[in-house]
Amino acid sequence: MSFGDPNNPYGPPQGQQPGYPPQQPPQGQPGYGYPSAPQGQPGYGYPQAPPVPQGYGYGAPMEMPGLIKTARVLLFILAGFQFLAGIGIGIAGAALQDASNGLGSGSDTSTATGVIVLIALLMLVLGSLSIFLGVKFKTGGSGIRIGTIVYSSLLILGSIVNIANGQGGSATFGGIISLAFGGIILASMVNSAATNWFNRPRY
């Protein structure tokens, strides 16, 4: 019994009897191999994680705001000035006392020398505090921010006193510089960027 010409392109495929509909795989399934992955889902492994937001959390660390960086640099510069002033005042006080001792009036200038030495020590302490606050900007919390606010406020107050009593001399010039530094540092600590930085979560 013949089923027609096997080379006929319009005839049924070889291996299939005429009169029966062609065999087709079920809809939605591949004809061979493993089943394909559903649309919209990854084929293998765990599902893809959502993108990590920048700033807080376990992603990239939050970057220090520019105004906070400026205040930090000013604290370091201010510390340098304070150390230089403390050393210079201390040397001047010692030289004054040596000169008084040479003239036989050392007892008369001992009180003034003591005050000068105290001022020199105060400048060195303030310089150390400036460095401490600047270093702690990177890891410190709200306590560092509050301490910097208090420090800059006292710096501004002392600068105003120096300007008022300097009579246009070196104390006035130093007071103007300290006032500018203190104002910038204070302004950088009382805005929302500083609040977010010093209150940021740490992991």
Model pLDDT, residue 200: 87
Q: Domain residues of the chain, as ranges? A: 66-198
Question: What is the DSSP secondary structure assignment for residue 167, as one 8-state letter?
Answer: T
Task: Give 94-152 pLDDT, tens digit per residue.
Answer: 888 777 777 666 566 678 788 888 999 999 999 999 999 999 998 889 999 999 999 99
pTM score: 0.65
Residue 35 neighbours by CB distance under 10 Å: 8
Model pLDDT, residue 56: 45
Q: Across all residues in the chain, what is the average pLDDT?
A: 78
Question: Using CA atoms in the order 184, 69, 131, 88, what is the torsion angle rounded to 10 degrees?
Answer: -50
Tokens of 19: 């009169």
Model pLDDT, residue 112: 79
Residue bearing tokens 């201390």: 90
How far, in Å, are 126, 135, 170, 171, 186 from residue 165 at the CA level? 21, 33, 11, 8, 23
What is d(CA 62, CA 71) in angstroms, rounded to the nearest whole number? Answer: 17
* Residues of the chain under the 70 pLDDT cut: 1-61, 103-109, 167-168, 203
What is d(CA 61, CA 50) in angstroms, rounded to the nearest whole number? Answer: 18
CB 190 within 8 A of CB 71: no
**Burial class for 120, CB neighbours closer than 10 Å (0-12, 13-18, 19+):** buried
Model pLDDT, residue 187: 95
Model pLDDT, residue 46: 53
Collect all residues with Cβ–Cβ distance below 8 Å to 124 and sequence separation of at least 6: 82, 83, 86, 87
Model pLDDT, residue 143: 93
- Taking CA 182 as the corner, what is the angle to CA 61 and CA 62, rounded to the nearest 5 degrees? 5
What is d(CA 189, CA 142) in angstroms, rounded to the nearest whole number? Answer: 10
